Amino acid sequence: MSGVDSGDVWLIGIALTAVAAVGGVLARDRAQARQQRDAENKLHDRISRVKEEVLQEVKVLRADFTDYKLSVAREYASVDHLKEVESRLVDAIEKLTAKLETMPTRLAAEIKQSLGNGP
């Protein structure tokens, strides 16, 4: 042989096996790291899409709420309007009360007249 004995061959074989094993481990780690990066990118993309959807929903809800507030402002009775309605109701109640207060006297007069006793 030319300076390489059988112990060296074994040592070289073991070293090559170790290098191959380390290379395999590194390759597997790189593949796992790539898969993890891909999964993280997909997750970030999904988060971005959900965020955009939520922001769109918030815009729609804000617009709806603004429309609702405007509708309430338009349809809600003002204090002046309520006072006017109250005044009209009080006047109508007072007129009705006056009519009811005179009713027994008028009924008595009509009964007397119908019985022929005259007023």
15-47 tens-digit pLDDT: 999 999 999 999 999 999 999 999 999 999 999
**What is the end-to-end Cα distance of the chain in Å, rounded?**
160
Indicate yes or no: pTM above 0.85. Answer: no
Indicate if the pLDDT at residue 7 is higher than 90. Answer: no
Percent of the chain residues past pLDDT 70, beyond the cut? 94
Mean pLDDT confidence for 1-23: 84
Q: What is the pLDDT of residues 45-61, one digit of tens each?
A: 999 999 999 999 999 99
Cα distance between residue 61 and residue 67, in whole Å: 10
Cα–Cα nearest to 107, from 92, 93, 119, 95: 119
